[in-house]
Chain A
Amino acid sequence: MTANAASPNHLQLTRDGQLRHFLTLDGLNRELLTDILDTADSFIEVGERSIKKVPLLRGRTVVNLFFEPSTRTRSTFELAAKRLSADVLNLDINTSATSKGESLSDTLLNLEAMASDMFVVRHAQSGAPHFIAESVTPGVAIINAGDGRHAHPTQAMLDMLTIRQHKGAFEGLKVAIVGDVLHSRVARSQIRALNELGAEQIRVIAPGTLLPTDVESLGCTVEYDMVKGMKDLDVVIMLRLQKERMEGALLPSEREFYRLYGLSQEKLALAHPECIVMHPGPINRGVEIESAVADGPQSVILNQVTNGIAIRMAVMSMAMGGQVAERQHKLAELIERGPA
């Protein structure tokens, strides 16, 4: 028996298939993902102007709700909202309401009462943005800025934008994601995006302790040996390794990890000569990537950061458009029904 047919789409798309929340890439089709990339492309030009503003979110209030610390993701969301002319409120929830014992629901209902139009949510628990969109503030657009190990859809889309800029298209691409896939929300979203956009091969390269159960079911192949896994690669994405992994008995030592799974110049030489190197940051030099590679000619790590602003502008403006369309639908329905 299926308990609940509420697919993510039911939540994050309007009846016309427009985005109204951005929670996960699950269930979003290639057309919509391409639409996001195309919209972001158009915003890249805005960032190159001397006055970097468009009025798409003028008069709207965007609240950055970070229940987990972050520097880069939060600043790019803030910049993106400001370039769209929104009013931006940054809340670091770790140090305010929740430490006073207020529940997540109560905090959000208070913010909604302040007439917020959009919440950008980062939370340590998988599914927190779903919960907010479904149960707490359904009239506010929710943008997932990373939840637990579940998803980081804007990061994955900015990575796709970076790949498209350098490779032109996704068809025929061989891509590897290397390192701590188990704990990575980024990897889950990337695998989903690459599958939907038509990449030819998606390999995950990691030891067994850093891979989720039945990882192949996500749409990838597993390679334990990085030397084999690098062969013919067009794109290699390195993941950040947290130091806690040693204490949890998942890995013996940083040194052994670097020797086996760190991206050195020697290992990179095994890939296609035009292979690009990506990393969602922040990078651990000498743990998952050699400095010479991170700063080398094949690295596109800084392009990723620039693209982050454009992708976030695209997603925010599209979700706001979806919310407005949804409200108009509802209003039209009310008018059609006439006075009660």
Chain B
Amino acid sequence: MSASKPTPGSSLKITGGRLLDGHGSEAPNIALMIRNGRIAALGEAAEQAEADQTFDAHGCVIAPGFVDLYCNLREPGNGQKGNMASETRAAARGGFTTVCTSPETSPVNDSRAVTHLIREAAAISSAIRVLPVGAITRGLEGDMLSDMAGLIAAGCVAVGNGSRGVRNARVLRRCMAYAQTFGLTVMFRPENQSLAADGYAHDGLVTSRLGLLGIPEVAETASVMEMLLLAEETGVKLHLSQLSCGRSVEMIADARRRGIAVTADVAMHQLVFTQDALAGFDSRFHLRPPLRSETDRKALVAGVREGVIDAIVSQHLPHDSAAKQAPLPATEPGLSSIESVLSLGLGLVQGGELTLAELVRGLTSGPASVIGRTATIGSDEIADLCVFDPEAHWTPSRQTLISAGQHAPVLGRSLPGLVRLTLVDGQEAWVSETRL
């Protein structure tokens, strides 16, 4: 298979892979026939069919394309940190076929014009689906409502406040009540700003030893509780984004039992790393919310396993090197993570903390359902697929990373999991150079 896009109407046959989707469907050694952007046939029928091109997927998993509910593509406005072309290509390399891009662009995505700008840039330079999330308050300032209905009409998939808080509970309540009018999903990262104050690391053993300013767990949990109560009252579909605390998972499970419409996500690196990652003042792990304790990490993993947390996100936040080249407190938070999500997840599978099916659910059907979409592999379904080899290894490094951000969570060490092929509408968005 060549790296050029197949001509429309051409067909592709994938043979020998293990099919796995987030709904628990599993089939070993299955063939898939893709024509006109859709899955034309599966199994026996696909086996028999003639195709223009064939992709040998022996040893690989064929999964629905991954869906990311929170990432930053840095366009418009932050060209030195990344752009639509670089970051969507990095996402495709990570197996993602759909990414929801945060409203924290410059200017903020709080108007139809900016939404159009993002969609246009995506149409020109992205091989994957880019779904903008609109700002729920103007300028993300947390004071005035944005034109939410207009944002949705322009193509936003949900509204939220990115990674910023809404300081005022009255404004928060009105955001929810207004969004509920139109049946919109609201996405918030729960954080009580007065409790988080100037902190930049988990308030615990490591901050005490290194003299760093802590963000206590209660900065998140108090906000989760406030948002759950407001969601219960307003009836809005609430999505809690980028959780970091075990207690948050408990509160969400309780709220669901009481019938509150709440969904949640967690960044992959929160499932893998803890506060100990900061021990050598490693500014890559300056994150918001911060990496917390091992107890929190385990509870978050259990949340994914049990389905309390619906989705795993990349929380991809690429930076230029200057943003991370300073004493830790002076650096900007965030990891360049989207290329490593699958590999970190496979590490959890190898360690017995998640099953492969649970991991795939968290990356496909879980996030898809939050934004009212599906991610299934079946006859006549759209061919958004990720074919990865869980046994193959790669080494993230400044030479191998595609993202403009070079601060990946693991550098210079071999990781399991190589995405061989990413298809969007049956067209290749990524194909790895080896084994073709």
Using a CB–CB distance below 8 Å, which chain A residues touch chain B? Answer: 1-4, 6-8, 11, 26, 103-105, 123, 125-128, 130-131, 134-135, 147-151, 185, 188, 212-215, 217-218
In the complex, number of A-B residue pairs with CB atoms less than 8 Å apart: 96
Q: Across the interface, do B329 and A127 meet the contact criterion of CB distance under 8 Å?
A: yes
A213 is contacted by which of B204, B281, B409 (Cβ under 8 Å)? B204
Closest 3 CB pairs of A and B: A149-B211, A127-B281, A150-B211
For the complex formed, measure the closest distance between the CB of B38 and the CB atoms of chain A, giving whole angstroms: 39
Give the complex CA separation of A2 and B273 in angstroms: 7
Q: Known contacts being A4-B279, A217-B205, is A103 close to B211, with CB within 8 Å? A: no
Give the complex CA separation of A4 and B282 in angstroms: 8
Q: Known contacts being A2-B277, A104-B326, A125-B328, is A217 close to B209, with CB within 8 Å? A: yes
For the complex formed, measure the closest distance between the CB of B327 and the CB atoms of chain A, giving whole angstroms: 4
Interface string of B310-340 (1 = CB under 8 A from A): 0000000000001001111110000000000
Task: Return 30 A-B CB contacts under 8 Å, by A number.
Answer: A1-B272, A1-B347, A3-B284, A3-B409, A4-B280, A4-B282, A6-B280, A6-B282, A26-B209, A104-B326, A104-B330, A123-B327, A126-B212, A126-B281, A126-B328, A126-B329, A127-B210, A127-B327, A128-B327, A130-B280, A130-B281, A131-B281, A134-B280, A135-B325, A149-B213, A213-B208, A213-B216, A217-B205, A218-B208, A218-B209
Give the complex CA separation of A3 and B413 in angstroms: 10
Give the complex CA separation of A126 and B326 in angstroms: 11
Q: Across the interface, do B325 and A188 meet the contact criterion of CB distance under 8 Å?
A: no
Q: Known contacts being A149-B211, A213-B203, A217-B208, is A2 close to B276, with CB within 8 Å? A: yes
> For A135, what are the chain B residues with a Cβ–Cβ distance below 8 Å?
325
Q: Across the interface, do B209 and A188 meet the contact criterion of CB distance under 8 Å?
A: yes
Interface residue B263 (Cβ < 8 Å from any Cβ of A): no
Contacts A11-B280, A214-B204 given; 10 further ones with Cβ under 8 A? A1-B272, A4-B279, A7-B280, A8-B280, A104-B326, A134-B281, A135-B325, A213-B204, A217-B208, A218-B209
B327 is contacted by which of A26, A104, A149 (Cβ under 8 Å)? A104
Give the complex CA separation of A134 and B214 in angstroms: 24
For the complex formed, measure the closest distance between the CB of B315 and the CB atoms of chain A, giving whole angstroms: 16
Q: Could you say which of B207, B211, B213 has the most chain A C-beta atoms within 10 Å of its C-beta?
A: B211
Give the complex CA separation of A176 and B282 in angstroms: 32
> For B211, what are the chain A residues with a Cβ–Cβ distance below 8 Å?
126, 147-151, 185, 188
**How many B residues face the partner with a CB closer than 8 A?**
34
Give the complex CA separation of A151 and B410 in angstroms: 28
Interface residue B388 (Cβ < 8 Å from any Cβ of A): no
Interface residue B285 (Cβ < 8 Å from any Cβ of A): yes
Give the complex CA separation of A214 and B347 in angstroms: 31
For the complex formed, measure the closest distance between the CB of B196 and the CB atoms of chain A, giving whole angstroms: 14
For the complex formed, measure the closest distance between the CB of B321 and the CB atoms of chain A, giving whole angstroms: 10
Give the complex CA separation of A2 and B123 in angstroms: 40
For the complex formed, measure the closest distance between the CB of A213 and the CB atoms of chain B, giving whole angstroms: 5
> For B205, what are the chain A residues with a Cβ–Cβ distance below 8 Å?
213-214, 217
Give the complex CA separation of A149 and B277 in angstroms: 19
Give the complex CA separation of A151 and B209 in angstroms: 9
* A129 nearest CB neighbor, chain B only: B327
Give the complex CA separation of A4 and B328 in angstroms: 15
* A152 nearest CB neighbor, chain B only: B211
* A7 nearest CB neighbor, chain B only: B280
* A105 nearest CB neighbor, chain B only: B325
Q: Across the interface, do A1 and B273 meet the contact criterion of CB distance under 8 Å?
A: yes
Give the complex CA separation of A183 and B343 in angstroms: 40
B296-316, CB < 8 A from A = none
Interface string of B400-419 (1 = CB under 8 A from A): 00000000011000000000
* B325 nearest CB neighbor, chain A only: A105
Give the complex CA separation of A130 and B51 in angstroms: 59
* A189 nearest CB neighbor, chain B only: B211
Give the complex CA separation of A188 and B209 in angstroms: 7
Q: Could you say which of B212, B272, B284, B347 has the most chain A C-beta atoms within 10 Å of its C-beta?
A: B212
> For A212, what are the chain B residues with a Cβ–Cβ distance below 8 Å?
207-208
* A3 nearest CB neighbor, chain B only: B277
Give the complex CA separation of A163 and B387 in angstroms: 66
Give the complex CA separation of A3 and B407 in angstroms: 12
> For A148, what are the chain B residues with a Cβ–Cβ distance below 8 Å?
211-212, 329
Give the complex CA separation of A255 and B213 in angstroms: 27
Q: Could you say which of A7, A125, A188 has the most chain B C-beta atoms within 10 Å of its C-beta?
A: A125
> For B285, what are the chain A residues with a Cβ–Cβ distance below 8 Å?
3
Q: Across the interface, do B273 and A125 meet the contact criterion of CB distance under 8 Å?
A: no
> For A3, what are the chain B residues with a Cβ–Cβ distance below 8 Å?
273, 276-277, 282, 284-285, 409-410
* B330 nearest CB neighbor, chain A only: A125
Give the complex CA separation of A105 and B322 in angstroms: 9
> For B281, what are the chain A residues with a Cβ–Cβ distance below 8 Å?
126-127, 130-131, 134
Q: Across the interface, do B209 and A103 meet the contact criterion of CB distance under 8 Å?
A: no
A125 is contacted by which of B208, B209, B322, B327 (Cβ under 8 Å)? B327
Give the complex CA separation of A50 and B168 in angstroms: 68
* A127 nearest CB neighbor, chain B only: B281
Q: Across the interface, do A4 and B203 meet the contact criterion of CB distance under 8 Å?
A: no
Q: Could you say which of B207, B280, B283 has the most chain A C-beta atoms within 10 Å of its C-beta?
A: B280
> For A131, what are the chain B residues with a Cβ–Cβ distance below 8 Å?
281, 283, 326-328
Give the complex CA separation of A147 and B212 in angstroms: 10
Interface string of B214-243 (1 = CB under 8 A from A): 101000000000000000000000000000
* B211 nearest CB neighbor, chain A only: A149
> For A6, what are the chain B residues with a Cβ–Cβ distance below 8 Å?
280, 282
Q: Could you say which of B328, B347, B409 has the most chain A C-beta atoms within 10 Å of its C-beta?
A: B328
> For B283, what are the chain A residues with a Cβ–Cβ distance below 8 Å?
131
> For A128, what are the chain B residues with a Cβ–Cβ distance below 8 Å?
327
Q: Could you say which of A11, A104, A128, A212 has the most chain B C-beta atoms within 10 Å of its C-beta?
A: A212
Give the complex CA separation of A334 and B281 in angstroms: 31
> For A150, what are the chain B residues with a Cβ–Cβ distance below 8 Å?
210-212
Give the complex CA separation of A8 and B209 in angstroms: 13
